[in-house]
Amino acid sequence: MACDEETDMRTGTETPWGPAQTMTRIAAGITAVTTSSHGGIRLSVERQARMPARYAGLNVYGGGLWYEEDCEWCMVALAFPEYFSDCVEEARGILKHFYDLEWKEGTRRKWK
Protein backbone atom coordinates (compact mmCIF):
# COMPACT_ATOMS: atom_id res chain seq x y z
CA MET A 1 0.00 0.00 0.00
CA ALA A 2 1.52 3.31 -1.09
CA CYS A 3 1.94 6.01 1.55
CA ASP A 4 3.02 9.66 1.58
CA GLU A 5 4.52 10.16 5.03
CA GLU A 6 4.24 13.96 4.95
CA THR A 7 0.46 13.83 4.49
CA ASP A 8 -0.30 10.47 6.13
CA MET A 9 -2.03 9.46 2.89
CA ARG A 10 -2.47 5.85 1.84
CA THR A 11 -4.11 4.43 -1.24
CA GLY A 12 -7.76 4.03 -0.28
CA THR A 13 -7.75 7.04 2.05
CA GLU A 14 -11.06 8.88 1.89
CA THR A 15 -10.94 12.13 -0.04
CA PRO A 16 -13.75 14.62 -0.70
CA TRP A 17 -14.27 12.70 -3.98
CA GLY A 18 -14.12 9.12 -2.75
CA PRO A 19 -11.28 6.68 -1.97
CA ALA A 20 -7.84 7.65 -3.31
CA GLN A 21 -6.79 5.41 -6.19
CA THR A 22 -3.47 7.03 -7.06
CA MET A 23 -1.16 9.40 -5.25
CA THR A 24 1.71 11.41 -6.69
CA ARG A 25 4.09 13.21 -4.40
CA ILE A 26 4.75 16.66 -5.87
CA ALA A 27 6.91 17.82 -2.97
CA ALA A 28 7.12 17.28 0.77
CA GLY A 29 3.60 17.85 2.05
CA ILE A 30 2.02 18.28 -1.41
CA THR A 31 0.32 15.19 -2.82
CA ALA A 32 -1.83 14.91 -5.94
CA VAL A 33 -4.56 12.28 -5.64
CA THR A 34 -7.05 10.76 -8.05
CA THR A 35 -10.23 8.83 -7.40
CA SER A 36 -12.56 7.00 -9.75
CA SER A 37 -14.46 10.24 -10.38
CA HIS A 38 -12.27 13.25 -9.56
CA GLY A 39 -9.18 14.32 -7.67
CA GLY A 40 -7.10 17.13 -6.34
CA ILE A 41 -4.21 18.07 -4.13
CA ARG A 42 -3.86 17.42 -0.42
CA LEU A 43 -1.51 19.49 1.68
CA SER A 44 0.07 18.49 4.94
CA VAL A 45 -0.86 20.54 8.00
CA GLU A 46 2.54 22.25 7.76
CA ARG A 47 2.05 23.21 4.09
CA GLN A 48 -1.49 24.40 4.76
CA ALA A 49 -0.12 26.70 7.47
CA ARG A 50 2.14 28.25 4.82
CA MET A 51 -0.73 28.97 2.41
CA PRO A 52 -1.30 32.70 1.92
CA ALA A 53 -4.17 34.11 3.97
CA ARG A 54 -5.72 35.56 0.78
CA TYR A 55 -6.82 32.02 -0.17
CA ALA A 56 -8.54 31.27 3.14
CA GLY A 57 -11.96 29.79 2.55
CA LEU A 58 -11.68 29.69 -1.26
CA ASN A 59 -11.16 25.92 -1.49
CA VAL A 60 -14.85 25.14 -1.03
CA TYR A 61 -14.95 22.07 -3.30
CA GLY A 62 -12.06 20.44 -1.53
CA GLY A 63 -12.07 22.06 1.88
CA GLY A 64 -9.57 21.98 4.69
CA LEU A 65 -6.34 20.46 3.42
CA TRP A 66 -7.89 19.59 0.04
CA TYR A 67 -7.81 21.55 -3.25
CA GLU A 68 -9.79 20.07 -6.14
CA GLU A 69 -8.20 19.47 -9.53
CA ASP A 70 -10.23 21.73 -11.83
CA CYS A 71 -9.89 25.14 -10.17
CA GLU A 72 -8.61 25.10 -6.61
CA TRP A 73 -5.21 23.61 -7.50
CA CYS A 74 -4.26 27.06 -8.81
CA MET A 75 -3.96 28.36 -5.24
CA VAL A 76 -1.44 25.65 -4.37
CA ALA A 77 0.49 26.30 -7.59
CA LEU A 78 0.71 30.02 -6.88
CA ALA A 79 1.61 29.50 -3.23
CA PHE A 80 4.40 27.07 -4.12
CA PRO A 81 5.41 28.02 -7.70
CA GLU A 82 8.76 26.28 -7.43
CA TYR A 83 6.92 22.96 -7.80
CA PHE A 84 4.53 24.08 -10.55
CA SER A 85 6.81 26.06 -12.87
CA ASP A 86 5.19 24.62 -16.02
CA CYS A 87 1.73 25.90 -15.12
CA VAL A 88 2.03 29.13 -13.12
CA GLU A 89 0.58 31.21 -15.96
CA GLU A 90 -2.35 28.80 -16.30
CA ALA A 91 -2.88 29.01 -12.53
CA ARG A 92 -2.97 32.81 -12.69
CA GLY A 93 -5.60 32.63 -15.44
CA ILE A 94 -7.74 30.25 -13.40
CA LEU A 95 -7.48 32.48 -10.34
CA LYS A 96 -8.68 35.42 -12.41
CA HIS A 97 -11.46 33.56 -14.22
CA PHE A 98 -12.98 31.49 -11.42
CA TYR A 99 -12.21 33.62 -8.38
CA ASP A 100 -12.15 37.09 -9.96
CA LEU A 101 -8.82 37.71 -8.24
CA GLU A 102 -5.58 39.11 -9.54
CA TRP A 103 -2.23 37.68 -8.55
CA LYS A 104 -0.06 40.75 -8.16
CA GLU A 105 2.57 41.38 -5.53
CA GLY A 106 0.90 38.91 -3.20
CA THR A 107 -2.32 40.88 -2.91
CA ARG A 108 -5.94 39.91 -3.34
CA ARG A 109 -7.59 42.41 -5.65
CA LYS A 110 -10.62 42.43 -7.85
CA TRP A 111 -10.00 42.66 -11.55
CA LYS A 112 -11.46 45.79 -13.07
**pTM metric for this prediction:** 0.82
Q: Does the pLDDT at position 73 exceed 70? A: yes
**At 102, is the pLDDT very low, low, confident or very high (cuts 50, 70, 90)?**
low
- Residue pair 65/51 in contact (Cβ under 8 Å)? The answer is no
The secondary element (H helix, E strand) that includes residue 76 is: helix 73-79
Distance CA 32, CA 27 (A): 10
Distance CA 47, CA 72 (A): 15
Could you list the residue range(s) of the whole structural domain that residue 17 is in?
3-107
* Total number of domains constituting the chain: 1
* Residue 112 forms part of a structural domain: no
